[in-house]
């Protein structure tokens, strides 16, 4: 990833933003991310910029937000580049996604560039972001001055898959932090992995990266309606979903006639999920056999779970 700074040193483009030093300070003091919104691709895309120099758009990996780039990498790249970081439609602070597939995300990236008057930029795509970056280069070649692909694949019959264990973790909708870091970092570099997580936490507290991990209830409801409109037959929730968004999604799913699947959010008890309308075997285990998410013993007898019948 650090090679990107050298590879992109010759990118052409315009300058914008404060000059950023290696310490993360700008000409106006410590850098603080200022999130803006652009109307593009039929939705609202959240983004922020950092640094000054030739523009570099950074395309993140699967289900990750613009806040999950390593702050140390951003400080390095921002010395010589105008970084453009954003949440894909349907992720983080951005609005609902009305498309499907990597071509749709590539088109959304080009639409964002139009909206912020960015004619041409270097493109750095990591993991799934590399898939989007490749489709962007194919579908919108005039927008790409340089292309940097990190930790990604070309797709098709040239794809080189990871180990079976890595594929299982990558396919798991709610992998643990230990699983993720165990795959991203070799065994002898787990200390570096933990330092990365601490850097993220410090940067979030100091405002160096935006807090886009929260999902507004309105966004959750809109995403459920979008799933219904495009013909999906269920709604899948995940462990990190905030309680407010979870209850909004479940209520909307009930209103439009879609069942809810997926792991319970950490902020929601099995009893609350059951009362809201989600029906999973995970809840049966938590409520009858084991303890609820708060560590307390299961509180309901089997006969109370009438929906099992």
**What is the average per-residue pLDDT within 42-68?**
93
Same domain for 89 and 173, yes or no, is: yes
Same domain for 117 and 251, yes or no, is: no
**What is the average per-residue pLDDT within 270-292?**
61
Structural domain total, the chain: 2
Question: Is residue 39 included in any domain, yes or no?
Answer: yes
**What is the average per-residue pLDDT within 16-31?**
54
Question: Is residue 41 included in any domain, yes or no?
Answer: yes
Q: How confident is the model at residue 35 (pLDDT cuts 50, 70, 90)?
A: very high
H helix runs in 185-291, sequence order: 190-206, 217-229, 243-256, 270-276, 281-284
Same domain for 44 and 192, yes or no, is: yes
Same domain for 138 and 250, yes or no, is: no
Same domain for 173 and 237, yes or no, is: no
More confident residue, 146 or 92: 146
User: How would DSSP label each residue in 45-99?
Assistant: EEEEEE--SSEEEEE--TT--GGGS-HHHHHHHHTT-EEEEEPPTTSTTS-----
Domain span at residue 127? 3-206
Same domain for 84 and 106, yes or no, is: yes
Same domain for 200 and 228, yes or no, is: no
Same domain for 201 and 161, yes or no, is: yes
Question: Is residue 174 included in any domain, yes or no?
Answer: yes
Of 72, 70, 174, nearest to 126 by C-alpha is 70
Question: Is residue 212 included in any domain, yes or no?
Answer: no
Mean of the per-residue pLDDT values of the chain: 79
């Amino acid at each position: 990833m650090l090679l990107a700074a050298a590879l992109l040193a010759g990118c052409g483009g315009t300058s914008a933003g404060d000059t950023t030093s290696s310490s993360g300070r700008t000409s106006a003091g410590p850098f603080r991310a200022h999130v803006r919104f652009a109307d593009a691709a039929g939705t609202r895309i959240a983004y922020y910029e950092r640094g000054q120099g030739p523009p570099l758009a950074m395309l993140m990996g699967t289900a990750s937000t613009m806040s999950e780039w390593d702050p140390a990498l951003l400080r390095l790249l921002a010395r010589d580049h105008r970084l453009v970081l954003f949440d894909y439609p349907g992720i983080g602070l951005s609005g609902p996604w009305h498309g499907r597939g990597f071509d749709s995300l590539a088109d959304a990236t080009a639409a964002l560039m139009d909206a912020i008057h960015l004619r041409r930029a270097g493109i750095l795509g990591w993991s799934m972001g590399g898939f989007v970056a490749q489709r962007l280069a194919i579908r919108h070649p005039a927008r790409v001055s340089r292309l940097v692909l990190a930790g990604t694949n070309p797709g098709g019959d040239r794809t080189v898959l990871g180990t079976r264990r890595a594929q299982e973790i990558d396919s798991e909708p709610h992998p643990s932090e230990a699983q993720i870091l165990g795959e991203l970092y070799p065994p002898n570099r787990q200390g570096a992995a933990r330092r990365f997580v601490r850097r993220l936490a410090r940067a979030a507290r100091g405002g160096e990266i935006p807090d886009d991990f929260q999902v507004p209830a309105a966004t959750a409801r809109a995403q459920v309606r979008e799933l219904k409109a495009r013909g999906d037959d269920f709604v899948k929730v995940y462990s990190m979903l905030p309680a407010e968004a979870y209850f909004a999604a479940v209520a909307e799913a009930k209103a439009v006639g879609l069942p809810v699947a997926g792991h319970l959010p950490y902020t929601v008890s099995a009893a609350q999920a059951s009362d809201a309308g989600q029906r999973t075997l995970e809840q049966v285990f938590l409520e009858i056999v084991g303890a609820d998410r708060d560590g307390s013993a299961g509180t309901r007898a089997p006969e109370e779970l009438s929906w099992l019948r």
